[in-house]
Chains A and B, each alone.
Chain A
Amino acid sequence: MRLFSGTTYLVTALLLAVLAVSPAGKSEAIDRAELANVMQTIPPNGAFWKYGTLEMRRKTKKAGVTSVIFPHWSHRARYTCRVCHQDLGFSMRSGDTGITRSQNVSGKYCGVCHNGVTAFSVKDGRVRHCDKCHTKDTKALEQLFESFSSDLPFASFGNGIDWSAAIKAGKIAPLNSLNTGLPILPLPDKLKVPMKLGTSAARSDVIFSHEDHYFELDCSACHPDIFNIKKKGTKAFNMENNIYGNYCGACHMRVAFPMNDCKRCHPQMGGSYTP
Chain B
Amino acid sequence: MKKIFLTLLLLVVCVSLGWASGMMKKKLPPYDYGSVTINNYSQQAGMPPVQFDHWLHRQYATCRLCHVDIGFGMTANSTKIRSTDNMKGYFCGTCHNGKESPVYQIKIFDSCAKEYKRDEYKRCTRCHILERSSAREDAFERFAQKMPRERLGNGINWEKAEEMGLVKPADQLEGVSIMKPKLKIQQDFSLKSKVEGMPDIIFSHKKHTVWNGCELCHPDIFVGIKKGTTKFSMVDIFEGKYCGVCHDKVAFPQSDCARCHNKSPQEK
Give the residues in chain A near B198, CB-CB below 8 Å: 185, 188
Chain A residues with CB under 8 A of B5? 9-10, 12-13
Residue-by-residue, is B161-193 near A (CB-CB < 8 Å gives 1, otherwise 0)?
Answer: 000000000000000000000000000000000
A186 touches B197 (CB 8 A): yes
- Say yes or no for B8: interface residue by CB 8 A criterion: yes
Task: Please indicate the chain A residues that have their CB under 8 angstroms from the CB of B257 in the complex.
Answer: 185, 218-220
A97 x B19 contact (CB < 8 A) = no
Contact among B4, B151, B196, B199 for A182, CB-based, below 8 A: B151
Asked if A17 is at the interface (CB within 8 A of a chain B CB), the reply is yes
Contacts A86-B151, A97-B27 known; A185 to B199 CB distance under 8 Å?
yes
Question: Is B27 a contact partner of A228 (Cβ separation < 8 A)?
Answer: no
Interface segment, one of B34-42, B47-55, B80-88, B258-266: B258-266
In the complex, whether B25 has a CB less than 8 A from a CB of chain A is yes
- B106 at the A interface (CB under 8 A): no
Q: Taking the complex as formed, is A196 at the interface, i.e. its CB lies under 8 A from any CB of chain B? A: no
Q: Kindly state whether residue B45 has any CB partner on chain A within 8 Å.
A: no
Please tell me which stretch of A126-134, A143-151, A232-240 contacts chain B, meaning at least 4 of its Cβ atoms lie within 8 angstroms of it.
A232-240
Are A98 and B29 within 8 A (Cβ)?
A: yes
Which residue on chain A has the smallest CB distance to residue B233? A229
Quick one: which of A4-41 are within 8 Å of B by CB? Answer: 5-6, 9-10, 12-14, 16-17, 20-21, 24-25, 28-29
Q: Are B22 and A224 in contact (CB under 8 A)?
A: no
Complexed CA–CA distance, A116 and B8 (Å): 58
Check A13/B27 contact, CB under 8 A, given A184-B258, A235-B18, A247-B22.
no
Chain A residues positioned under 8 Å from B255 (CB to CB)? 86, 218, 220
Which of A29, A86, A190, A220 contacts B19, CB < 8 Å? A29
B235: contacting residue among A92, A98, A230, CB under 8 A? A230
Decide if B44 is an interface residue (CB 8 Å cutoff).
Answer: no
CA distance A233 to B23 in the complex (A): 14
Partner pick for A28 among B4, B12, B19, CB 8 A cutoff:
B19
Determine which of B12, B21, B262 lies in contact with A16 in the assembled complex, contact meaning CB atoms within 8 Å: B12
For A6, what are the chain B residues with a Cβ–Cβ distance below 8 Å? 1
Contact A28:B23 (CB < 8 A) given known A16-B9, A17-B8: yes
In the assembled complex, B238 has its CB within 8 A of some CB on chain A: yes
Mark each residue of chain A from 164 to 208: 1 if its CB lies under 8 Å from any CB of chain B, else 0. Answer: 000000000000000010111111111100000000000000000
For the complex, is B24 an interface residue (Cβ under 8 Å from A)? yes
Return A224 CB to nearest CB of chain B, in Å.
4
Q: Report whether B238 and A20 are in contact in the complex, using a CB–CB cutoff of 8 Å.
A: no
Residues of chain B with a CB closer than 8 A to A13's CB = 4-5, 8-9
Cβ of B26: which chain A residues have Cβ within 8 Å of it? 93, 96
Contact status A234-B195, CB under 8 Å: no
B234 at the A/B interface (Cβ < 8 Å)?
Answer: yes
The interface residues of chain B lying within 8 Å CB-to-CB of A138 are none
Pull 21 A–B residue pairs with CB atoms less than 8 Å apart, ordered by A.
Answer: A6-B1, A9-B2, A9-B5, A12-B5, A13-B5, A13-B8, A93-B26, A97-B27, A186-B199, A186-B264, A189-B196, A189-B197, A218-B255, A223-B234, A224-B234, A225-B24, A226-B23, A233-B235, A234-B21, A246-B23, A250-B23
Which B residues fall within an 8 A CB radius of A?
1-2, 4-5, 8-9, 11-13, 15-16, 18-27, 29-30, 151-152, 155, 195-199, 234-235, 238, 254-258, 261-262, 264-265
Name A residues whose Cβ lies closer than 8 Å to a Cβ of B.
Answer: 5-6, 9-10, 12-14, 16-17, 20-21, 24-25, 28-29, 86-89, 91-93, 96-98, 180, 182-191, 218-220, 223-230, 233-237, 241, 245-247, 250
Known: A9-B1, A236-B22. 16 other contacts (CB 8 A): A6-B1, A10-B5, A16-B12, A24-B20, A91-B27, A180-B151, A191-B197, A225-B24, A225-B25, A226-B24, A235-B21, A241-B19, A241-B22, A245-B23, A246-B21, A250-B23
